[in-house]
Structure formats: structure tokens, C-alpha cells
Structure 1
């Protein structure tokens, strides 16, 4: 039987025997913007979005750019939704992972990062000037934060912006090669507009990191004066995105180039900000940009859905040692079933996180939860997709079966929008509070919902207490990462069991089995905390 027939049969075989209605389950899981989600998926059936595997380096980039332009014509995604309706924005972005990760990130840079920075850090003058052009795809955007010498340490970036009051303008400079902006998606070939993070000085006074919006190319694609860009080169995956490296040499920007929601300079050249502390002001700026982290986490969850759907369907149809299906073997189930439970759990808590963003909830809570879930979701994706690949045998290597492509394309998600190890440590700094007493040991006897949650909470509390006793977080970074995981695992499990109770009666038994499996899996991996 040919590989193509296997790919088709794995997708078409009638599984049957499900305990729940797939339509009812889909309605429960998707909830909002269902019609728009369906419309996007229908729109993405266009031939332009069909997989192509024999493209050259630059042909793949051209295809990705054409896909972005075509998607813009559908009017599904708008930068204005960062302000007016974040929930709709998330729904618009989610379908893209099912097509290709290059277009997902291309749109993420354009709409989420560049558009999001202008929408959330700028004011009406910026919105009116730039957002319609971004929405239409006529002004390709990019986002220049990361530098060669500074990734996670954004407060330490070295690009400078000095305000020249005589000319009522800023002068932007890259002080050294370490200050060059690197891995900037969209910069190498197509980007025209760029949001740039730089250290601001006004009247000789240092004001900290601020964000500016500027043109890096004119409408004909020619580099603007003082801007130098180089190609980053071929990557292990995601080669549809044109990553570049940028230097600025005495680039002059007008006063309105400063995104001034949190800080502004008046006609007299006086700096104003409602937030006086430089670290607090920086925190407010980057906190407003949590949307990108949320989208990365959601893409990781969606990739798990796709990989598990392919692997589970394949295992239910693939005979091994006679007529017995490979999916009926216990070892095979144990490789895939926990991933299914984890994916449901993460999908449901992502609904909660997106709801917090949509409702403009406490920024600190959003930052902690989005940081923890981004790390948890992307690390989970690494594990789940690898198991899916292995469970499909050689077929998992076949490009048209998608799993292998997702593994290499999405490998970057564990480090961009925040290195996962660093994010977990940031979570810890946000949740540690003084005065925690030593947790009393617990016993798990019946593996009830309550006991499973108690065990997860006990693990979190023990790690909190241990870190507070040790005192020096830098000397105990491994424990910080463990606590970040414990925080994410407990919240995810707690939310899953709550969702079971809120679910339609016909779905509860199935969802409860998955919730129990999720909690058992998480407790089992950290069973040194259990007193049995």
C-alpha cells in the first residue's frame, strides 16, 4: 500500500464508537466566534494555503508573503481588536497553525507584535495612521526588540534614542554589533514598518526603554536612510519567515514616532509619564504585550491537537502482528493518551487566560499566567509531537503527514516570546509571598479528585516554602523552574475539574476521565512529593 493511500485512509477511516457527540464537544470547546472560526477554515481551503514541499528558500518566503496578503483580504484579523475585542483577535489567529507555522508567525509578527505594539502602546494618532494599513496588508510590519547581546534582558538593550529638542526629533543609533536587532521577522525582505525598542534619553536624563514606530523601507522597498539590514540565513525550520538583522545609524524620527500611551514629550521638550519609576513603566509596557505570549501558547496547544489527531487516527487503522490495531496495545495508549489529556487541559485553561485578557483583568495575573502557560504549553508540545512522530513510525517522517514539519518549524517556540526557563523563574517572582508555613504532609489513598488536586497543591506549597527558606533565588534556579511547573500544573488541573462540572451532562464522564488522567500524569512525574 502506498504512503499516499495510508495518509488518505488514516484521515478517512470511520472511527465510530465514540461515547460523546463530536458536534457537542466541538461546540463546548470552541464556544465563542464559532461562525468566524468556521469561515476562516473555509477561507483557508484556497489553493494558496495547500502544503508545498519542493520550494526553494526564497520561493517559500514569497509564498508566505502572498498568503499573508490573501488572508488580509478576508478581513478576519484586525489590529483594532487588540483594543476593541481581544477575544475575536485570538479566534482569528488560531486557525493558522493548521496551515503552516511560517504563516502563523508571519501573521503573528505583523498583526500581534507590530500591530499590537502600536495598538496597545500608541494612541489614537498612531492607530489612525498605521493600523488600517497593517490590517490591509499594504504595510508589512515587524517588531525589533531582541538584540544580539540581549534577548530575555530587554531592560538591558543597547539601541539608543536621544531626543533633540531643537529639531523636535529622536536620533536612533545602534551603538555596537551587540546592539543590532536580530531575528527580526519580516525585516530581511518584505518589512516596511517597524516598532523598535530603544533606551530613551531626554535632555540628558535617562528615561529607560521606550518603543518607537518607524519606516525601515519606503513603498518601493528601498531601505530608509541610516537603516542597514542583513539576512539572518537558512534555519532548521520556519523558513517562510524572512528573519533579518538591523542596524541604525543616526536615524532621525519625528516626535510622533514615540508610542506615547505611557510616556510623552510635549512641545517644550518636557518628558511626561504617569508612571514615575523606570522599572514600573517598563513593566507596564511589556505587560501590555502579553497577547503575543498567549498566541504562542495557543499555537502550541493547536499543534498538539493536530499531531494527536493524526497519530490517534493512524494507530486505530494500522495493523501490527496480524489484524490487531497498533492503537490497542497498552504501551501505545500510554504514549498518546496522556498527551490527549494534557491538550484538553491546556485548551481549557487557555480559554480562561484569553478571557482575562479580553476582560482587561489584573495585568500582573495575566503576566504570571501567560508566562507559566506559554512555557508549559510549548514544552508539552515538544513532548507530545515527538511521541506522535514515534507512534506513526516512518509515516511520521513523511512531510505530507505534517508532524515532522511541525516539530522542526515550532522548535523555536520554547525560546521566543521569552525563553521558557526564564519565564518560569519570572512566574516564581510573581507568586512568592512571605509568611508561608511549612506544609503538612498529605496522604493520597483513593485518588479522588480532591486528593489529586491536594497532591498538586502540596507540591507547589512545598516548593514555595523551600525557596523562601533558601532565600537566594539565583542560587536555586532549578527549584524556581520546578515551582513554575507546579504552579502551572495545579492551576491547569484545578481549572479542568471545574470545567468538568460546568460541561453539558453528556460530556462530563469523558471529560472527567481526561481530567483524572491529566492529574495522575502530573502527580506521577513528581511522585517524590507523595506520601503513599
Structure 2
């Protein structure tokens, strides 16, 4: 028979009790024990190792559709990430960037060709990525981002470029060390016309961790309270990627450079694209609540 405490836990867990209970069991692994690790490189290595353990247990599958190799349980995915915040906030942020932001952009803004190429691999951490939206000069003013993606019909490639110092991608989780790919938000330019911000998959490092030609990454350094998160900066200098690397669920560019979209209004198209990523923002709020509950529990025990 369940104890009173177990009944209470089930009730408080709500609809995603099973996801939360699974997280409790996974996080009972000795590698998830609380630790104080001020050395940045060591803290980052620990967080990546914890991520790999989660991947082995299929921790990220709930956040992706069945067709892409997941289980299609968005609520369970949010609950699972929230539980990480009760264990280690560095782990929560890094998992959120890899599976929620980078992975979410590929699945929600991409089409079948991207799903087949990337999603299963990023779930398993065979592909490590980052979410390159924020820029030095524009913060969260996404419509004003300056990074450009200019289409070259002669080679059927997009040229990703940082035209100004303020167009540097900044504070990007994973960009300092571990990410090999980035979902890059940039102004799409084709046939001399700008069509607003779109998202592209851009390789940024080789398998040995070296910056690829035209890509310059740098490290934001120690992050207070989140020592295991490798926030960094990215600058692009005429980096060429295949036309197919445009995440083209809502808009595409044909081989000759013609821009096509089922959403005629540029503002509506922009907000439709961003709306697909709202789960990541919900996760941040849920994780903050989870961390606050941990703090309240510690304070109460201390007061007693």
C-alpha cells in the first residue's frame, strides 16, 4: 500500500507523475550527486558526462515526435527538464539548450530532410548543437538581428556572415566548447531582397573541436551559478552552407533564388516561427519554480 507521503507526491506531481518519477530514478545515479566544482573545464566535463548518461536512458525522447524517433510527450518533456533543475541547474540549462532549443528548432522549423539527418542523432548526443539567436547589439530583439544569410544561386548555397561587431552571436550556450552545429537565426537575403529572420543549420566545429573555416568562437568564461554551461560567442566570415540547411517549414528558397512561403505577411510569418519555440520559454519558468522549491526546502530544514 502506498504511504501517505507517496499519495501526496503523486497528487502534487499531477498529470506527468510518471515522467517525474522516472527522473527521480535516473537522477539517483551517483554521477548526479551534488558537487561544488569551481574549475570551469572540470565542471563542464561533468555536465557533459551527465548529459550522456541521460541520453543513454532515453531522457530526451519525450520532446520529439514519434516520426522523428521520440515519444511525442511535450508535457512530459517539460516536466523532465524541470526535474533537472532540482538536481543541477547547469545540467538543466545544457539539456535545455541541446534538446529544447537546438533540437526544438530543428524539429519545429525544419522538415523531413532535417528530421532524418539530425533529430535522432541530437537526441543521442551524436550531434551536439547550440541555439545562435542572441547578438551583442540586439539581445532578444530578434527582428533586428544583423547576421545575414545571402543566397548564391550559382552554387546553391547560403553565405552566413556577421557584417558588424554588434552582429556577433553572444551568450550562446554550448558555443564556447562542446557544440559542433548551431541553429543560426539570420536575415535571409535572396535576389537582392531581404525576407526577414529565418533559421539555418550551420556547422561550426570539426570532430576535434576546432573552429571550421570562417567561424570564430570565443568563451564567455565562468558563469556564476552555472559553472557547467559553456556559454560562448560566434562570428561568421562568409561561411557557406548548402541551400538545404535552411529550416524550411514555413519558407523556402528555390534553386534559382526564388523565395516562397505559404504565409504572405512577413510579421505573421516571423511570429509563427518564434511561436514554435515557446516550449523552451515555458521550461525556463518551470525550472525557476523547481529551483525555488529546492531553496524553500533547504531554508525550512535549516530553520528547524
TM-score, L = length of structure 1: 0.54
Q: Which residue of 1 is the match for residue 90 of structure 2?
A: 102
1:286 and 2:274 are equivalent in the alignment: yes
Question: Does structure 1 conserve the Cα–Cα contact (< 8 Å) formed by 2:150 and 2:189?
Answer: yes
Q: Give the counterpart of 1:48 among 17, 28, 31.
A: 31
- Is residue 38 of structure 2 the alignment partner of residue 70 of structure 1? no
Q: What is the distance in 1 between the residues matched to 2:175 and 2:251?
A: 27
Equivalent runs, 1:171-190 vs 2, <5 Å = 171-190=159-178
**Contact kept in structure 1, 2:217 and 2:234, CA below 8 Å:** yes
CA drift of 1:26 comes to 2.1
Q: In 1, are the aligned partners of 2:37 and 2:227 still within 8 Å (CA)? A: no
CA distance in structure 1 between the aligned counterparts of 2:178 and 2:140, rounded to whole angstroms: 26
Q: 4+ residue stretches of structure 1 with deviation over 4 A?
A: none
Give the superposition deviation at 1:55.
Answer: 4.3
Aligned partner of residue 32 in structure 1, secondary structure: helix
Equivalent position of 1:238 in the other structure: 226
Query: In the aligned structure 1, how far is the partner of 2:39 from the partner of 2:221?
Result: 13
Relative to its length, the structure with more strand (as a share) is: 2
How far has the Cα of 1:54 moved from its partner? 4.2
CA contact (8 A) 1:83 1:120 kept: no
Q: Distance in 1 between matches of 2:36 and 2:257?
A: 55
**Alpha-carbon shift at residue 83 of structure 1 (Å):** 8.8
- Is residue 249 of structure 2 the alignment partner of residue 249 of structure 1? no
* 1:289 Cα deviation after fit: 0.6
* In the alignment, structure 1 residue 271 sits paired with structure 2 residue 254: no
Whole-angstrom CA distance in 1 between matches of 2:194 and 2:73: 35
Match of 1:80 among 64, 68, 79: 64
Structure 2 unaligned runs (5+)?
Answer: none
Kindly indicate whether the alpha-carbon contact (under 8 Å) linking 1:180 and 1:247 is maintained by their aligned counterparts in 2.
Answer: yes
Residue 132 (str. 1) matches residue 115 (str. 2): no
Output one character per residue of 1:297-329: Cα deviation in whole Å (capped at 9) or x when no partner: 0001111211112222333x3xxxxxxxxxxxx
CA contact (8 A) 2:200 2:246 kept: yes
Q: SS state of the match for residue 155, structure 1? A: helix
Question: 1:236 deviation in Å?
Answer: 2.5
Q: CA deviation at 1:24?
A: 2.9
Change (3 A) 1:288 1:64: same
Q: Secondary structure at the match of 1:31?
A: helix
In the alignment, the residues of structure 1 paired with residue 218 and residue 59 of structure 2 have an alpha-carbon distance, to the nearest angstrom, of: 32
Equivalent in the alignment of 1:198: 186
| 1:269-322 Cα deviation digits (max 9, x unpaired) | 32111111211111111111101110000001111211112222333x3xxxxx
Question: Is the 1:83–1:119 contact (alpha carbons within 8 Å) kept by the matching residues of 2?
Answer: no
Unpaired segments ≥5 residues, structure 1: 1-19, 318-532
Query: How far has the Cα of 1:152 moved from its partner?
Result: 2.1
Counterpart of 2:15 in 1: which secondary structure? coil
Larger Rg: 1
2: CA distance between counterparts of 1:274 and 1:280? 11
Q: Please state which structure has a larger fraction of its residues in helix.
A: 1
For 1:44 and 1:157, locate their aligned partners in 2 and report how far apart those are by CA, in whole Å: 39
Conserved 8 A contact 2:38-2:227: no
Deviation by residue 1:210-247 (Cα, 9 ceiling, x = unmatched): 00012111222221111000111223321210111100
Structure-2 separation of matches of 1:51 and 1:28 = 27
Shift of 1:30: 1.6
- The 5-angstrom pairing of residues 135-154 of structure 1 reads 135-154=123-142
Q: TM-score w.r.t. structure 2 length? A: 0.93
Q: Residues 98 and 122 of structure 2 are in contact (CA less than 8 Å); yes or no, is this contact kept in structure 1?
A: yes
Kept in 2, the 8 Å contact 1:36–1:76? The answer is no
Q: Which has the higher contact order (CA 8 A, sep 6+)?
A: 2
Q: CA RMSD in A?
A: 1.7
